[in-house]
Amino acid sequence: DGGITQSPKYLFRKEGQNVTLSCEQNLNHDAMYWYRQDPGQGLRLIYYSQIVNDFQKGDIAEGYSVSREKKESFPLTVTSAQKNPTAFYLCASARTANYGYTFGSGTRLTVV
């Protein structure tokens, strides 16, 4: 079955560490996105990519980095420069935004 997979489901990070969140899709979608959701708040766009080897900053890109070397994969690195990284991270993909996004099941990151 086609879908979008995020891993791990839960991640614990010590302060000062970089961590990488995985996002893989087999839907043959060109566009991929990373969002962050804080408790009781809406989704905020971190980065997005419309094509391989190209990506753009979203509204809250500081402290994050991404790569898009393959169509299927769009990993997100949360760097030590991100001051408040504890959140629910959602990856999404789309053939085109006209059809809406398909989301992965998310990664909950906690800084300990």
Partner 1 sequence: RKEVEQDPGPFNVPEGATVAFNCTYSNSASQSFFWYRQDCRKEPKLLMSVYSSGNEDGRFTAQLNRASQYISLLIRDSKLSDSATYLCVVRFNFGNEKLTFGTGTRLTIIP
Site string for partner 1, 67-86 (x = CB under 8 A): --------------------
* 63 lies in the binding site for partner 1 (CB under 8 A): no
Between strands 10-13 and 107-111, the pairing is parallel
The window from 14-22, 68-76, 77-85, 91-99 that contacts partner 1 (CB under 8 A) reads 91-99
Q: How many Å apart are CA 73 and CA 70, to the nearest integer?
A: 5
Q: Which is nearer to partner 1, 76 or 94 (CB)?
A: 94
CA dist., res. 38 & res. 35, Å (int) = 10
Shortest spacing between CB 38 and partner 1, in angstroms? 11
90 CB burial (10 A radius; 0-12, 13-18, 19+): buried
- CA 47 – CA 66 distance, rounded (Å): 7
Note the residues at the interface with partner 1 (CB under 8 A): 31, 33, 35, 41-43, 45, 48, 50, 58, 88, 90, 94, 96-106
